[in-house]
Amino acid sequence: MAVLLEDIVKSVEQLLKLISKKSQEQPYVDPTLDPVLLVPGIAGSILNAVDDKTGKTERVWVRILGADHEFRDKVWSRFDPATGKTVNLDADTHIEVPQDRYGLYAIDTLDPDMVLGSDCVYYFHDMIVELIKWGYQEGTTLFGFGYDFRQSNRFQETIDRLASKLESVYTASGGRKITIISHSMGGLLTKCFMSLHSDIFEKYVKTWIAIAAPFRGAPGYISSSFLNGVSFVEGWEQNFFISKWSMQQLLLECPSIYELMACLDFKWEHIPLLEIWREKCDSDGNATITLESYPPAETIAIFREALSTNKVSYDGADISVPFNVDILKWANETRKLLSSAKVPNQIKFYNIYGTSYKTPHSVCYGSEHAPISDLRKLPTLEAKYIYVDGDGTVPMESAKADGLRAEARVGVPGGHRGILCDRHVFRILKHWLKADHDPFYNPVNDYVILPSAFDMESLKTKGLQVTSLKEEWEIIGEDEKESEENMTERKPLVGSVSVARRGGGSVGDKSVQEEAHATVIVHPQNDGKKHVELNAVSISASA
């Protein structure tokens, strides 16, 4: 959203607070709320390494000091096709997820020292704080489910733990059915569980809300992760974190990553491609340069050749870590399971997906002037992306295509992890959770503000970026007492605001121009509701 539009919305929200005469809320416990279980995505749970000989427990994800070394030593693993489990290279170590604070500690703030200050490690924290403000209580109506995200989304141990968690949450809340709020790959885990154990799911779950779930995969993100690894932070913070190469070696042995590849049977609007500028020589030594494009089904041969000589050194030995065909077979079975999942009739499903962020979709290596002759060089090259709309990680097209019976699907402008602390998401959740009431609510002197619509579009044309926004609220309170004559003459109150900015900040700089105009309409109260509309547009141009 353009900066000026953001300022306008914040100003209107402050105005709404004045209109509603709503005092600052204090935390309280609402005994009427149904329990909520938060389920994170990949890399979204704290992991501890436990020494089987001494019992010593050491935090290995996320940690700061010695992060990369301990990650390679304690978290690197190999896939066992006989069991479907990813097993530590260190045979004397196993991975556990801490269960403190009813499972919330492991998914709250992943950075133990808050050195990084990035949303990749500042995870469910804001949502947990917000839920507590609404009246949720840890251990009674608010819980978390962290898990070993290296494993498959249908890994039996994880599925069994989730079944036990649902039962314990149901019991702790006094027999109330649960709302699951999943993020990212947590949506695939939830969907797998629902497919495998629909009876248990129906017994304990009332509502499932998926946020930023890669239902049809995250093609660009996963392709470059296989070939180049992934960095969770940028800039100077990388010095405290896991290197891209170390992460790549882990991901190549993780079934969960293979399960995030592009779905082959999905009808993509734009087929995700792996493109390579190739140089080939004929028998006479004549070189030709062509751009080769591979759809998802044909990328496997490229991955296998590109990673055929990939090795890691561990405990004095070289270990081959190629593209793992056994994991691919396992992941294909998982995708079949996901495609057959159905929401039980008594359960409500909602889908929130991110929009307005450039999201990798197709990946390209090399160029016409710097072609590639040896595919084994791909892991050393930087990928270039063709972007689509999404949350920066998951294409909107993938996140929307849940294949389920949904009560609602809502797109919210936001990044893949940042969306978890987005104020629009909080409004939506509060409404769906029926937490937008207060047991001490007094309609005589208090009001409740509910969002009822949100829509934003952005268009670039001829050097201009035009962003339009429509947002609506309902202020619920006691009907205003008026005479019949006044009621027939009531008209909406209409106000407008315009703001402008010139220059990029320095004196005399006119390179950036931006204007925003907004109209606010406050409709007369009717049936205890006062409807408020905001229509705004911003136009920005760079010289």
Model confidence at 96, pLDDT cuts 50, 70, 90, reads very high
Asked if residues 207 and 350 have their Cβ atoms less than 8 Å apart, the reply is yes
What are the tens digits of pLDDT across the range 491-500?
888 888 777 7
Q: How many other CB atoms are found less than 10 A from the CB of residue 253?
A: 20
**HEC assignment per residue over 299-366:** HHHHHHHHCCCCEEEECCEEEECCCCHHHHHHHHHHHHHHHCCCCCCCCEEEEEEEECEEEEEEEEEC
Q: What is the mean pLDDT of the chain?
A: 85
Asked if residues 422 and 412 have their Cβ atoms less than 8 Å apart, the reply is yes
Model confidence at 121, pLDDT cuts 50, 70, 90, reads low
Do 468 and 436 share a domain, yes or no? no
Do 185 and 282 share a domain, yes or no? yes
Structural domains of the chain, count: 2
Residue 485 in any domain: the answer is: no
Q: Is 437 a catalytic residue?
A: no
> Which pTM does this prediction carry?
0.77
Q: Where are the alpha helices (DSSP H) in 348-422?
A: 396-400
Q: Is 531 a catalytic residue?
A: no
Residue 11 in any domain: the answer is: no
- Cα–Cα nearest to 125, from 111, 113, 140, 109: 109
Give the amino acid at 375.
L
Give how far the C-alpha of residue 276 lies from the chain's centroid of Cα atoms, to the nearest Å: 29
Do 467 and 404 share a domain, yes or no? no
Do 226 and 268 share a domain, yes or no? yes
Q: For residue 95, give the 3-state DSSP assignment.
A: strand
Do 427 and 468 share a domain, yes or no? no
Do 355 and 460 share a domain, yes or no? no
Do 290 and 412 share a domain, yes or no? yes
What is the domain range of residue 329?
30-445
Residue 235 in any domain: the answer is: yes
Q: Is 416 a catalytic residue?
A: yes
Q: Of 183, 361, 416, 523, which one is the catalytic site residue?
A: 416
Compute the distance between CA of residue 213 and CA of residue 231 in angstroms, rounded to an integer.
Answer: 20
Residue 335 in any domain: the answer is: yes
Residue 371 in any domain: the answer is: yes
Do 240 and 337 share a domain, yes or no? yes
Residue 16 in any domain: the answer is: no
Q: Of 108, 119, 391, 422, which one is the catalytic site residue?
A: 391
Residue 3 in any domain: the answer is: no
Question: Worst-scoring range by mean pLDDT, 305-309, 425-429, 443-447?
Answer: 443-447
Do 413 and 517 share a domain, yes or no? no
| Residues present in the chain in total | 543
Model confidence at 521, pLDDT cuts 50, 70, 90, reads confident
Do 35 and 73 share a domain, yes or no? yes
CATH code where residue 292 lies: 3.40.50.1820
By CB neighbour count within 10 A (0-12 exposed, 13-18 middle, 19+ buried), where does 481 fall?
A: exposed
Do 111 and 249 share a domain, yes or no? yes
Residue 384 has pLDDT above 90, yes or no: yes
What are the tens digits of pLDDT across the range 48-65?
999 999 999 999 998 877
Q: How many other CB atoms are found less than 10 A from the CB of residue 511?
A: 11
* Structural tokens at position 92: 């004397």
Residue 398 has pLDDT above 60, yes or no: yes
Do 410 and 512 share a domain, yes or no? no
Compute the distance between CA of residue 214 and CA of residue 181 in angstroms, rounded to an integer.
Answer: 15
- Residue predicted with more confidence, 16 or 537: 537
**Residues whose CB falls within 8 Å of the CB of residue 406, separated by 6 or more in sequence, listed in order:** 349, 350, 351
Residue 465 in any domain: the answer is: yes
Q: Of 20, 77, 118, 184, which one is the catalytic site residue?
A: 184
By CB neighbour count within 10 A (0-12 exposed, 13-18 middle, 19+ buried), where does 41 fall?
A: buried
Q: How many other CB atoms are found less than 10 A from the CB of residue 157?
A: 13
